[in-house]
Structure 1
């Protein structure tokens, strides 16, 4: 690569941008000058986090003001053509996330434009650069596999957006959009291996899911075809289950298997040994090979975390890094690798269009422009921030049913949950981290419920996305003369590890807990800010601390009960026999609504929990029995968890991870909920009566979420 600096900008600040930023940082002659996103606040947050000098919310503005060489296009697929064409017209090269465009016609037009302008286009089909995939390609092309008989490509991974949205994303607007968003990974593999499109295909689609706004999605796709005498099968399953992504090739000489999910490659072929010994060798050899590869993957991950390796740790990040590096190497030499070429990118889109035609799905009805509820009869006097979340949706329903006129502040009103669309209320676009949108939403409001929360992994991130925005919300409430501000905190601030302790609202937050958990620390900090404003400026604030909240609309995989590294595996804190502070979501909402009518409680805090009658083991027993499944339970002592946390901290500390906090034994012990929670204050002052009947808690808190999740 040349020594001259290459100036680069990032277009799009969504999930994938962090991988591309890390990949570019590995290239010594690349300088990242700017990031651009329609959501300027998101771009600003990323730029601040990564030290990128300039931020834009308009591509044309960035192209006019920044002296750039390349723009990395990281937008949704339907924006690729317009954005890439604008970039090429400005005389710059394009490195685009897959797909190249979402139609073949646009792909061809973009290629023609780039050729006329003498500009390069690269397409990042990331998994093509995995070393394990490269081994398959080498064996295929060398003839080691013989004549290719079968090619199977599998993508079995749950699509989380089908459960919680955002339902306004382009990927969900028609049933075939998934073929241009996720499927190009697999289509690119097939086209690359075959050297072109199949001769014929047949497509079968099953498992339709109804989404908001009249949208439909099909969770299972099977594509069968032929290339000469080679049979082809591609399967997609976007449902919950053990994740799989692999390529399996059967040849006349050998069988090859690329396990992309686990980053291994194995090849089975006959040896000169006798029949039974040959079978033995074909079991032991690949197993040993996979074992060594798995050790290598884990070792690289650990070394990367310890900052002893500069390259990306995981296989996915490593593949993106190698893809990006290949583009800039090809840019210098003038010839792009075939795996990032626009020709391959267009072929993958061609296959996607072919599959869409062969699926022969009914023409989707035009989705409703919005999925908005009917307007309330009266001007809203109650604002709910975080009203589209688990507790928020139930709170909004209780408020409406109690006769209050409600306004909900939501990031994406077009993705309004179905539960809210059935109510009469007002939804306004905004985010509690954006003071201007909060100020606009406060017009005419008397009561404000703040259930919003920040995101991040470190305290500085929570400080910026949660603590400071909460302070501004409170100050805006004072400015607008709001009668009450209700803030939703959490019992996560307490240390519940002492069996002799009865936790009340007067129990102080535990420093051992908040030093470990940025989330708990933010709750404590927010409470203190709000109470200080109550004392100094008469802010009329009331604080709620819900316990382990269960009920319809929530996930049965509740992290307050046990830890869930996977849906089939749960880590039980201790023996799992301590009664848990469980409360139904309807009861939490009822308490929060009742507070409106209770006078003279400003400055008060309320724990919200029912009488404990279910342990973690009881919860898991009911889960298993009702779902008809068996979960892998792993109970362990507090010391075991502490030592494991200490080992993880050591690795992060060596790698100078800013989010590494020294483990607290008290914090781990507190997760077992050995202490007793007392909510008598809420019951006495609010006239609140939470359900404590064991059978009802099981039915509404465990069975109902399980039924919803498995539906």
Structure 2
């Protein structure tokens, strides 16, 4: 690269990992990010707008033709790495690819051959290879401090969230072995890098099979054992809920070492010259001291980066990606890549994954999962449910079908639709409520619409784009199509329910302090305002529901409306946890919504949906512990104590000039204790709604059922 020339870079893929790569590129002086390309234009445009990327594309070929690029970061799903990387190489552009290089060994070989022929460079990001704790392990190994290596244990124990909530249509879940090419390469590449090659022999065990929608299967526990010479090898993967672990433990003749990626620590234990008992003491105290100092350093760096007193990509994982990306560009400039990012090592990791596949008798390829039989449609769909595959949405669809309504579901990933809904004979339409064309198509022949979908983000501009503007468009399309009723699902999060003297009705105004700090609550309030304005101005036939704390079949027992869950083993209880909560069963929420479809003269109305309060947060946790047979650590948090903590966080962000730092709202904290009483009599009188209010039934259906489902 010529002196003073800035490398022109593009990002291919706007998913989760793109933020990390962009942050890493932003730290490099001679890089210019020119474009981002993704099939989802809206997602790409949003990223470009937030990050200041000048050009957006949905076609790779067009981007390669229009932009004079030097490097493309390939951040697509593994199974299309070859298809996306090949034209990049043919265009004479270098590649920085997320792992794996490709998802088959043959594709890896062919891509490397094409790159060699074209004189192009391919780097592969196995990001944990650049964590300093791993570099310390490698250094101690290679300089002989560990001695002759006897054992290597690599552990990856982290819950895979997609197994519970989807999306189930992702490539990773389409066969039981795809996980070996999606997640496992992180550990495979560590083993190969440490050993300097492939294991000599290997055996594999898989256990804990779970059934997913569409007849798919997944194994949540894997154990791989092998040998390299006299060194025993063991790799374990566990994707179940539990305390997260990710580490490499190496035993040598001179010392043992452990690189802990989860906690960003490295400790090495070796004999000292001290007497036997004192040596044992030293081998407890010295590693503990090392871990203590490293933990302080990690926390200090985090705080300094938040205050922007140090230039950083973020936490340890983000820093590792930044070092990976920096190494690629340094090696590209110098003509030789670091061994950790070479395509040769990338291919070796895929080769090991392929060997593991051959050691087990599991299906390796399923072109399209076998679908369970689908009941023929009951009748032509007249009701559209946007967000029908969610927790409340599924109950609503079941109740609508039971009432004899023909139902169409607009879903981002129809493949993730549970079999129990498919068997009801619903019609599935692929699309997102943020896509006006998809909504227009889904509205054909529809008379009633339930809008349960929501946008996501961390800031108000993100919610404005992902939730508020799309909801306005849905309402306008409903007007154009002459929809008889639009039902919108809002939230009780808009209220300050922290005052014992307050009885909350539909006339209770949203609290401005909550809206100021909570983009989610603000978006709900803004959506309600827009919909009611359209009702007043253009007669939009809208009805709004604000459900309470919704529990029941299909929901998680770790409900954030009850308490906060920083971890599944720890809960933060607001106040004393002795206020009775506005709990409601999910089937009762669905019942109210279905009743409203035929209720006369309710356009422009809103309804709070909560049962009679009879369960406190402490009682909820008591039942949880008893039913699940576990102990949950309770942290009682007074409103003022939590507010002071939020003030401290705000101060740190302000020092760092975080533009999204909102001054804490005491009302936002106070409302979480649910000291107020919710009055749902309006829904009972106007809709004939009679929610379950019996304490025993609420506990059985609202707590025991989801607990049993979660821990089965």
Query: Counterpart of 2:264?
Result: 263
TM-superposition CA deviations, 1:339-361 (whole Å, max 9, x none): 00011111111110011111233
SS of equivalent to 2:359: helix
Q: How far, CA to CA, are the matches of 2:223 and 2:641 in structure 1?
A: 45
- 2:561 is the counterpart of 1:551: no
Query: Counterpart of 2:346?
Result: 345
Query: Counterpart of 2:586?
Result: 585
The TM-score normalised by the length of structure 1 is 0.99
Q: Assess if the C-alpha contact under 8 Å between 2:174 and 2:369 holds in 1.
A: no
**Cα offset, 1:367, TM superposition:** 4.7
Classify 1:505/1:673 alpha carbon distance in 2 versus 1 (closer, same or farther; 3 Å).
Answer: same
Query: Counterpart of 1:273?
Result: 274
Q: Assess if the C-alpha contact under 8 Å between 1:454 and 1:466 holds in 2.
A: yes
Q: How far, CA to CA, are the matches of 1:213 and 1:428 in structure 2?
A: 16
Q: How far, CA to CA, are the matches of 1:564 and 1:125 in structure 2?
A: 31
SS of equivalent to 1:508: coil
Query: Counterpart of 1:458?
Result: 459
RMSD (CA atoms): 1.2
Classify 1:363/1:638 alpha carbon distance in 2 versus 1 (closer, same or farther; 3 Å).
Answer: closer
Classify 1:574/1:130 alpha carbon distance in 2 versus 1 (closer, same or farther; 3 Å).
Answer: same
Query: Counterpart of 2:103?
Result: 102
Q: Assess if the C-alpha contact under 8 Å between 1:458 and 1:658 holds in 2.
A: no
**Cα offset, 1:102, TM superposition:** 0.9
Q: What residue ranges of structure 1 are gaps of 5+ in the alignment? A: none
Query: Counterpart of 1:505?
Result: 506
Classify 1:47/1:208 alpha carbon distance in 2 versus 1 (closer, same or farther; 3 Å).
Answer: same
**Cα offset, 1:444, TM superposition:** 1.1
Query: Counterpart of 1:677?
Result: 678
Query: Counterpart of 1:485?
Result: 486
SS of equivalent to 1:439: helix
**Cα offset, 1:659, TM superposition:** 2.3
**Cα offset, 1:364, TM superposition:** 6.9
Query: Counterpart of 2:709?
Result: 708
**Cα offset, 1:372, TM superposition:** 8.3
Q: How far, CA to CA, are the matches of 1:381 and 1:102 in structure 2?
A: 43
SS of equivalent to 1:629: coil
Q: Assess if the C-alpha contact under 8 Å between 1:215 and 1:367 holds in 2.
A: no
Q: Assess if the C-alpha contact under 8 Å between 2:307 and 2:656 holds in 1.
A: yes
The TM-score normalised by the length of structure 2 is 0.98
Q: How far, CA to CA, are the matches of 2:92 and 2:375 in structure 1?
A: 49
Q: How far, CA to CA, are the matches of 1:375 and 1:655 in structure 2?
A: 58
Query: Counterpart of 1:22?
Result: 23
Q: How does 1:408-423 map to 2 (within 5 A)?
A: 408-423=409-424
Query: Counterpart of 2:648?
Result: 647
Classify 1:362/1:448 alpha carbon distance in 2 versus 1 (closer, same or farther; 3 Å).
Answer: closer
Q: Assess if the C-alpha contact under 8 Å between 1:371 and 1:416 holds in 2.
A: no
TM-superposition CA deviations, 1:21-80 (whole Å, max 9, x none): 100111111111111111222111211111111111111111111110000000111111
Query: Counterpart of 1:124?
Result: 125
Q: Assess if the C-alpha contact under 8 Å between 2:451 and 2:488 holds in 1.
A: yes
- 2:222 is the counterpart of 1:199: no
Query: Counterpart of 2:229?
Result: 228
**Cα offset, 1:379, TM superposition:** 2.0
- 2:300 is the counterpart of 1:299: yes
Count of matched residue positions in the alignment of Structure 1 and Structure 2: 711
Q: Assess if the C-alpha contact under 8 Å between 1:512 and 1:666 holds in 2.
A: yes
SS of equivalent to 1:52: coil
Q: How far, CA to CA, are the matches of 2:531 and 2:691 in structure 1?
A: 27
Query: Counterpart of 2:391?
Result: 390
Q: How does 1:261-410 map to 2 (within 5 A)?
A: 261-361=262-362, 367-368=368-369, 373-410=374-411
Q: How far, CA to CA, are the matches of 1:639 and 1:40 in structure 2?
A: 44
TM-superposition CA deviations, 1:496-516 (whole Å, max 9, x none): 111011111111111111111
Q: How far, CA to CA, are the matches of 1:57 and 1:455 in structure 2?
A: 22
SS of equivalent to 1:571: strand
Classify 1:155/1:516 alpha carbon distance in 2 versus 1 (closer, same or farther; 3 Å).
Answer: same
Q: How far, CA to CA, are the matches of 1:250 and 1:543 in structure 2?
A: 62
Query: Counterpart of 1:535?
Result: 536
Q: What residue ranges of structure 2 are gaps of 5+ in the alignment? A: none
TM-superposition CA deviations, 1:371-399 (whole Å, max 9, x none): 68445242211111111111011101100
